[in-house]
Structure 1
């Protein structure tokens, strides 16, 4: 495993444990060159699911894209990295459990918004404003009204 600090290829595993949902193994490693510690995750690599984007093009399902979107939406919010990882794991499981080779990107976006709505309303509105491409203040207000139950 390549060290993210010094790019040395030698490291040792200090701690290894399964995540709560038992789909991933978390390994804490220490670089044998610089001594810094880093975390890696190991999961089963199965058949790829393709995501159909809004323009019709297809790309491989990428959990990191979802995580990055969540990190941006939850920036400076009281949401832990573990909560975000759990959301990504849940979405990934739902997508893979449908037993389909392809999934529409809108389904993934709606799943993300459902999770965010339940953990942090500000993060939800941030994500929705980008995902739904609010064009003006009126569409933004309509989304807030839905959130507030008006």
Structure 2
């Protein structure tokens, strides 16, 4: 295992536990080069789950790709890594629960956006602008207006 801090390849396992769902093993490791600790997860490699792209191509479901997109959307926002991990876990469970072992990217994207909308509206708009591929400012404005009108309804309900 390569240390994410210094790149050294020697480490020792400090702690090892099964996840709650017993589908992965969490290992705390300590780098023998810089003595920093990091966490790794081991999962069983089985038949891959697929996502169907807009153009019909099929691609292997990639947790890291989703997490990367969420990290970009939530950059400099008060969203914890735990919340992002929860979104990725929910998304993965959604794909895994499919009887055909695949979901469309539109279904996956809408699920992610609905969760982001609940957590942080700015991160939601950032993610939506990339996911929906806004072509100009008017599309961005339209999404903001829908968000604001939806928020206005929620505000009235709370009072």
TM-score above 0.5: yes
Residue 50 (structure 1) shift: 1.5
1:6 paired residue number: 7
Deviates more, 1:60-69 or 1:35-44: 35-44
Q: Is the 8 A contact 1:6 1:34 kept in 2?
A: no
2:15 paired residue number: 15
CA root-mean-square deviation? 2.0
1:60 paired residue number: 60
Q: Distance in 1 between matches of 2:142 and 2:19?
A: 38
Residue 20 (structure 1) shift: 6.1
Tell whether 2:144 aligns with 1:144: yes
| Helix, strand or coil at the partner of 1:48 | coil
The number of residues matched between the two structures is 149
What TM-score, normalized to structure 2? 0.83
1:114 paired residue number: 114
What TM-score, normalized to structure 1? 0.87
1:84 paired residue number: 84
Gaps of 5+ in 1: none
| Helix, strand or coil at the partner of 1:75 | coil
2:135 paired residue number: 135
Q: Which runs of 4+ in 1 moved over 3 A?
A: 16-25
